[in-house]
Amino acid sequence: VSNSNGLRWSGLLWICCTLCVLVPSMCFNLEQRQPLIKYGHQNSYFGYSLATHTIGEYNWPNNTKCLLVGAPLDRNKQPNTNESGALYKCPISMNTDDCEQIITDGRRSYDVDDLIPPSSDEIKEGQWMGVTVRSQGLGGKVLVCAHRYVTIVRENRYGQGLCYVLTNELAFDEVYEPCKGRPVERQHEDYGFCQVGTSGALLDDNTMVLGSPGPFTWRGAIFVTEIGGEYLERDKSMYYSEHQDATAPVDKYSYLGMAVTGGRYFGDRMSYAAGAPRSNGHGQVVIFDKANTNPIPMRMIIDGEQFASSFGYELTTADVNGDKKPDLLSAAPFYFSKTEGGAVYVYQNENDMLPTKPTLKLTGALESRFGLALANIGDLNKDGCEDVAIGSPYEGAGVVSIYLGSVNGLNEKPSQRILASELGRNLPKPITNFGISIAGNTDLDGNSYMDMVVGAPPAAVVLLARPIINIQTSYQSLETRNIDPNRAGCRMDVSTNLTCFTFEACCSIDPHDQVSKEINLLYTVEAETFEHHKKFSRVFFDRDNKRSNVMSRLVRVRTDGRRECQMVTGYIKANTRDIQTPIRFRLDYKLEEQELADSPLTRLNPILDQTQAYIEFEGTFQKDCGDDDLCESDLRLRAEPNLQAEDGKYDFILGNKTELEVTVDVSNLADSAYEAQLFIEHQASVSYIATKKPTNATCNSFNTTLVACSLGNPMLRGTTTSVTIRFDPNSLKREEQNIAFHIFANTTSKLVGKELPERRLTLKVVRRAEMTLRGWVNPEQSFYSGASKLQDTPMELDHVGSPLVHTYSIFNEGPSAAPKVQLVIHLPLMLERADGLELQGGAKDKYLQYLEEAPIIETGQGACTVAPEYVNPLKLASKTSDNLRSSSYLSAPAALMKWPQHRQQQTHQPLQQNLNKSQSYTHSSQTVSHQQRWSEHKASQEQARANRLRRNTLERIVRPERFMDGRESTSAKGKKQQIVELNCDKLTAHCIKIQCEFYDMPAKTEAQVILNVRLWNSTLVAEYPRVDLVRIMSTANVKIPADFGVEQLENNDKILVETRAYPELLDQQRETYTPMWIIVMAVLGGLVLLALFTYAMWKCGFFKRKRPTDPTLSGNLEKMNEEKPFLAAKSSHNVF
């Protein structure tokens, strides 16, 4: 590159003007910008089959090139037919509708000129005339078939098929019906549905091969006969492959004959290949040898690869490596994988033998049906090797891929991909199904290059080949070897502060015509990013603002074969780390395009031979690696986590540490390691935090699962780098049982150590949670009193008894989170006799506590379940305000103010003073009338008798204890009390199970469950009126399900929650028994005292009194009659 500014600006202007006519395409020499398109009738399948044909003989001056197109559903010229199919001849012209139908049906001999309708013993409708079209080429004949042609014998119809052979001038020559006259008694099990003409081939030894997939239950067969030469001299016998049940090479429904081809695969003798795409499920190709006997002998079978891939659906023969020995290609258009759809297998001839395993496998795009069409299109680039075209009609609107042959065989990558969407400009009709058929190997425009025709029903597309200019590409290395990254400047730019280098891009052009002496070429140099070698390049050209790694220049080159070169200067980007890997360059030459001619038949622009128009080369750096410039490094690696190992294993207790650290030591024991790096692969749930200081390494998170650390560039011999990487493990998923690290070191130098520098660390994840369970009841002490009988069905909750609140609290002490916690509560609900005896009132069980509502989750995320029949089964409601329950947490009197005060007026202070003042309590009673008290008094003796009968049973649950200063005591000085304990385990109460589940409890979090219950007052009054205390014991336990893999310490995972119920003081009066002698003595003593007291009173004159003078008091009482007065005085004086 010249340093002259004037030359630089003139060159840029030249490029800008020329780029307007340059075509940025990956194509080779088939001109897709100017296709010749022939359109047929809509829905006629025009283009379903194709052939290129030359009318004339060798050395004829006026040979006519034409295109033969089959239209299997078009209207034939034969009278009384509509969709029997037709064959068209199309001239090579710019017109799109100048195709002419060739006469096929209706004239079967030279003696008949007029076309006649189908006879009564045949059916032409739907016969698909034109399904197969083949040409022998220059001076040869033409084959056209209708595989669905039907003959009628009596009432039976037989789809045997037929084929016509036409002369070179496309006149009628012969009709072939190989299955005609053969046995049809068993219908399709014989020759009733041969479908001859499904495929066909005209070989260079003047033989015709017809594929017939229908005989013998679609087992299939091929028919071979000679069609060339003098009629009287040629062998007119029809030879066929074996298709009888016992000796056939394939089984029923194999479709042998779906595709046919032939070639001298095994020497000088001709062989025939037939595809059986359904044989053995995956498809097979059967090869037969030519013979003059029936059946013709089978030579070999080639098996397909994948089930249902239809291996053998299409076949072709081509010499892809130019060794004059034919190679076989077989398509499997229904082959599939996650990214591929369709395959073509190449079987390259080796020493006159075909291999049973493919030499090369080509695949197409997903669901493209790559290989549905397959054709030998001749030698496109005149390198002596035949080339192949493969159709993918369902990739978009259709694609045809061109694969060039070479001395090493068919290239793995297509040299050109022709897309239907990129054909020409301003097409009259859109092109679809492009690539459903392909034909070629004929020079249609006379420029000595083979052209190609592609079917795209209802159209046929002709693609002409452009002339090729031969070019030789090379480069001259000046400073691309041992580039010193520590030295600035180079030969062409000594003043720069960057490292630079120079080389020469060279080419030579062979003479290609008599006119052109010079041509304009555009050469492009690209560093590293071509063909996706790298995403970014270490090199740039031209010191402008863009600093691009791609440089393009226009040059004018003479076409006399002399080598011409241009100087190129490249620069190494600052802070480039990779100085071990060579820099790859690609030098490309493209021809300056001329404007397209109005017609491709007038002139086609030439194109450079793309196989020779580029070259790839390398530039290397100067390295401290010895005389051989080969760096051989020996990296050693050691890695350990910050955990204690037990028997070489590591346990990581999740939650104990907020971070996990891994320390890695890397040592280099040999040559300098360039671009030495350390990589730590980890799972996404263990995220990278940072590295601990100090360290010489520089680490960064490459992605969510990889940490990359730079160890030095270079990492010198004998050095060791230590780095500690910090990770956050708190996002581990539940199903992850291990933490895995894959730690390895790498370098662009060659590693020569005995072991690779890598280490795999596996840490077992231990999840451990200490669950603390607590429970309490508010209020802790309750009182019951009143009548022993309650109305059969209480109307309100307030009639049941005291409200109680059970609270159960779970606290996760950690260190790990608990994904799921189960709490099971056993709540005593009914009073139950273990011995089966009846309780008071004749029942076997009574309510002890009454569950008002479903459990309440106070804190935490979870849910509780309990049988619905235990939750407020009586459907009781409370008239008490919501404040009643909350106030009962604090004191009993405030909660009881709305209750009748008849019995509450009695003072309970003595008992209250003995209770623990820190405890809350509540009181339950019932309003009792005087009549009820009298009834209770009369029944007291019966109750006493019943109590004595229950005493033996009560002894099991009642134990005497001392009660002093509000504490339970066994001291002999205290007052003995009887305490009843109702416990599920002792079968003294019937308990219900309440199960709660909490989810995602991190460490140091709490969950609470609240149960709102009522103490059933009447049961306690009836059953325990003479005890001092009733203890109702609820149990609860907590656990973490084992399938979550969390270790749980079970020290305090089960608790007892106690509810204390006290009877009122009046109800605690015990029944007493007084001996009879005491009663008698008491009565006698009382009588003696009464007598003594009476005597003393008499002595004292208590019974003597002074009376006033009163005649009334001194008179005698006498029975009076009417004659006497009512009162008579003692004296004679009348008081009146």
Give the Cα separation of 126 and 503 in Å (integer).
68
Q: Of the ranges 747-756, 1047-1056, 1093-1102, which one carries the lowest mean pLDDT score?
A: 1047-1056
Mean pLDDT of the chain: 83
Domain boundary among 1019, 1034, 1068: 1068
What integer is the mean pLDDT of 884-912?
A: 35
- Indicate if the pLDDT at residue 737 is higher than 80: yes
Q: What is the 3-state secondary structure (H, E, C) of 347-388?
A: ECCCCCCCCCCCCEEEEEECCCCCCCEEEEEECCCCCCCCEE
Give the Cα separation of 677 and 51 in Å (integer).
61
Say if 763 falls within a structural domain. Answer: no
* Of 3 and 176, more confident: 176
What proportions of the chain, in percent to the nearest 5, are helix, strand and coil? Answer: 10, 40, 50
Which pLDDT does position 582 carry in this prediction? 87
Name the residue type at position 1034: S
With 0.75 as the threshold, say if the pTM is over it. Answer: no
Give the Cα separation of 1110 and 1112 in Å (integer).
5
Whether residue 305 is found in the same domain as residue 390 = yes
Q: Spell 751-765 as b/e; 16+ CB within 10 A means b.
A: beeeeebebebebeb
Number of CB atoms found within 10 A of residue 655's CB: 20
**Both structure tokens of 872:** 């407020």
With H, G, I as helix, E, B as strand and everything else as coil, classify residue 1112: helix
Decide if 177 contacts 194 (C-beta within 8 A).
Answer: no
* Of 946 and 1041, more confident: 1041
Whether residue 747 is found in the same domain as residue 799 = no
- Indicate if the pLDDT at residue 878 is higher than 80: no
* Of 10 and 603, more confident: 603
Whether residue 289 is found in the same domain as residue 173 = yes
Whether residue 16 is found in the same domain as residue 43 = no
Say if 712 falls within a structural domain. Answer: yes
Name the residue with tokens 């669901």: 367
Whether residue 586 is found in the same domain as residue 687 = no
- Indicate if the pLDDT at residue 895 is higher than 60: no
With H, G, I as helix, E, B as strand and everything else as coil, classify residue 472: strand
String of DSSP letters for 1039-1104: E--GGGTEEE--TTSEEEEEEEEEE-SGGGPPP----HHHHHHHHHHHHHHHHHHHHHHHHTTTT-
What integer is the mean pLDDT of 523-548?
A: 86
Q: What percentage of the chain carries pLDDT values higher than 70?
A: 82
Give the Cα separation of 854 and 1066 in Å (integer).
36
Name the residue with tokens 């030894």: 205
**Both structure tokens of 241:** 């492959």
Q: Spell 698-725 as b/e; 16+ CB within 10 A means b.
A: ebeeeeebebebbbbbbbeeebebebbb
CATH code of the domain containing 407? 2.130.10.130
Domain boundary among 407, 442, 463: 463
Name the residue with tokens 């194509």: 27
**DSSP assignment, residue 147?**
T
Strands (E), 159-297: 162-166, 172-176, 199-202, 207-212, 221-226, 239-240, 259-263, 271-276, 284-289
- Indicate if the pLDDT at residue 92 is higher than 50: yes
What tens digit of pLDDT does each residue of 58-84 get? Answer: 777 788 999 999 999 999 999 999 999
Residue 1112 pLDDT level (bands cut at 50, 70, 90): low
Decide if 874 contacts 800 (C-beta within 8 A).
Answer: no
Give the Cα separation of 71 and 43 in Å (integer).
9
Enumerate residues 6+ apart whose C-beta is below 8 A from 393: 368, 369, 372, 373, 433, 434, 435, 436, 456
Decide if 273 contacts 260 (C-beta within 8 A).
Answer: yes
Cis peptide before 428 (omega within 30 of 0): no
Name the residue with tokens 């650290």: 661
Q: Spell 997-1012 as b/e; 16+ CB within 10 A means b.
A: ebeebebebebbbbbb
Say if 934 falls within a structural domain. Answer: no
Helix (H) / strand (E) containing 70: strand 64-71
**Both structure tokens of 703:** 């992605």
What integer is the mean pLDDT of 356-383?
A: 96
For 273, 479, 914, the CA distances from 490, given in Å and listed in that order, are 63, 8, 106
Give the Cα separation of 720 and 931 in Å (integer).
103
Cis peptide before 779 (omega within 30 of 0): yes
Whether residue 741 is found in the same domain as residue 818 = no
CA 551 vs. chain centroid, Å, equals: 44
Whether residue 530 is found in the same domain as residue 383 = no
Which pLDDT does position 730 carry in this prediction? 84
The candidate with the shortest Cα–Cα distance to 746, out of 768, 715, 718, is 715
Give the Cα separation of 196 and 1029 in Å (integer).
107
What integer is the mean pLDDT of 831-838?
A: 58
Give the Cα separation of 1064 and 902 in Å (integer).
14
Whether residue 458 is found in the same domain as residue 472 = no
**Both structure tokens of 24:** 């940025």
- Indicate if the pLDDT at residue 911 is higher than 50: no
- Indicate if the pLDDT at residue 675 is higher than 80: yes
Residue 928 pLDDT level (bands cut at 50, 70, 90): very low
Give the Cα separation of 829 and 984 in Å (integer).
10
Which pLDDT does position 533 carry in this prediction? 74
Residue 295 pLDDT level (bands cut at 50, 70, 90): very high
Listed ranges 434-438, 562-566, 1101-1105; the one with the highest mean pLDDT: 434-438
CATH code of the domain containing 717? 2.60.40.1510
Decide if 1024 contacts 1030 (C-beta within 8 A).
Answer: yes
> Could you list the residue range(s) of the whole structural domain that residue 823 is in?
773-878+914-925+950-1068
Whether residue 1086 is found in the same domain as residue 1012 = no
Give the Cα separation of 68 and 334 in Å (integer).
28
The candidate with the shortest Cα–Cα distance to 87, out of 72, 98, 97, is 72
Give the Cα separation of 1017 and 585 in Å (integer).
98
Whether residue 855 is found in the same domain as residue 716 = no
Say if 935 falls within a structural domain. Answer: no
CA 389 vs. chain centroid, Å, equals: 37
Which pLDDT does position 715 carry in this prediction? 87
The total of structural domains in the chain comes to 5
Phi, psi at residue 540, to the nearest 5°? -140, 160
Enumerate residues 6+ apart whose C-beta is below 8 A from 257: 198, 199, 210, 211, 212, 213, 220, 221, 222, 274, 275, 276
The candidate with the shortest Cα–Cα distance to 262, out of 218, 215, 200, is 200
Which pLDDT does position 513 carry in this prediction? 63
Say if 119 falls within a structural domain. Answer: yes
Enumerate residues 6+ apart whose C-beta is below 8 A from 1129: 1111, 1114, 1115, 1135
What integer is the mean pLDDT of 440-460?
A: 95
CA 1117 vs. chain centroid, Å, equals: 130
Say if 106 falls within a structural domain. Answer: no
The candidate with the shortest Cα–Cα distance to 90, out of 24, 14, 37, is 37
Listed ranges 216-220, 683-687, 776-780, 1073-1077; the one with the highest mean pLDDT: 216-220
For 777, 854, 995, the CA distances from 851, given in Å and listed in that order, are 14, 8, 15
What integer is the mean pLDDT of 958-981?
A: 52
Domain boundary among 726, 756, 786: 756
Residue 10 pLDDT level (bands cut at 50, 70, 90): very low
Which pLDDT does position 323 carry in this prediction? 94
Residue 838 pLDDT level (bands cut at 50, 70, 90): low
Say if 561 falls within a structural domain. Answer: yes
CATH code of the domain containing 1050? 2.60.40.1530
Say if 378 falls within a structural domain. Answer: yes
Give the Cα separation of 172 and 206 in Å (integer).
17
Whether residue 488 is found in the same domain as residue 417 = no
- Indicate if the pLDDT at residue 700 is higher than 80: yes
CATH code of the domain containing 561? 2.60.40.1460
Whether residue 965 is found in the same domain as residue 816 = yes
- Indicate if the pLDDT at residue 971 is higher than 70: no
